[in-house]
């Protein structure tokens, strides 16, 4: 594991973490379309993969106790490099190599500070909004199945 404390400035890593998490959950078609405009003219070279593998998903006993191995999930990871030498990584749930490759490409492009704002706006915010919208719909469907208890009075007292 890399030493997190070696990163002198925690703010960029928090922002990159948010961005990488968004890339990983984006639709491959969306990422490819966004790359057409944002990554135009750049060559994406493969450093590693995309390759399929597994992640062991862990849970905790009782929900908050000691960790245990719940079961594995299929994942795809990729590492790419751009013309300027920037290196990007991605790991995504599932077996979609295209999504992993574009997610890694966007991670590399995001590190170019001149591109960051546009990526945050057109990709990260977009993916987060789509997820939030789908979640809100799911919540409202679930909410409609909430039990509203009412009390029945029995007897005279």
Query: Which residues contact another protein (rule: CB under 8 A)?
Result: 1-4, 6-7, 13, 16-17, 20-21, 24-25, 52-75, 77, 79, 89, 91-95, 135, 137-147, 149
Helix (H) or strand (E) holding 48: strand 45-60
Minimum separation from the CB atom of position 116 to another protein (A):
16
Do 106 and 31 form a contact (C-beta atoms < 8 A)?
Answer: yes
70 token code pair: 């719940």
Whichever of 121 and 139 has its CB closer to another protein, that residue is 139
Minimum separation from the CB atom of position 150 to another protein (A):
11
Minimum separation from the CB atom of position 99 to another protein (A):
10
Determine the Cα angle at 45 with ends 107 and 128, to 5°.
25
Determine the Cα angle at 83 with ends 79 and 89, to 5°.
15
Whichever of 1 and 37 has its CB closer to another protein, that residue is 1
Whichever of 71 and 155 has its CB closer to another protein, that residue is 71
Minimum separation from the CB atom of position 63 to another protein (A):
5
Is the previous residue joined to 50 through a cis bond, with omega within 30 degrees of 0?
A: yes
């Amino acid at each position: 594991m890399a030493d997190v404390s070696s990163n002198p400035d925690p703010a960029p890593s928090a922002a990159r973490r948010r961005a990488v998490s968004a890339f990983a959950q984006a639709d491959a078609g969306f990422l490819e379309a966004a790359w057409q405009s944002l990554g135009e003219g750049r060559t994406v070279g493969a450093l590693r993969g995309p390759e399929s593998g597994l992640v062991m998903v862990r849970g905790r006993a009782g929900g908050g106790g000691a960790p245990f191995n719940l079961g594995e999930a299929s994942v795809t990871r990729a590492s790419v490099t751009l013309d300027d030498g920037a290196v990007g990584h991605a790991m995504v749930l599932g077996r979609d190599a295209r999504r992993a490759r574009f997610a890694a490409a966007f991670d590399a492009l995001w590190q170019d500070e001149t591109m960051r704002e546009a990526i945050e706006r057109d990709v990260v915010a977009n993916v987060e909004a789509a997820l939030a919208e789908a979640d809100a719909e799911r919540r409202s469907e679930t909410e409609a199945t909430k039990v509203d208890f009412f009390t029945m009075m029995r007897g005279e007292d």
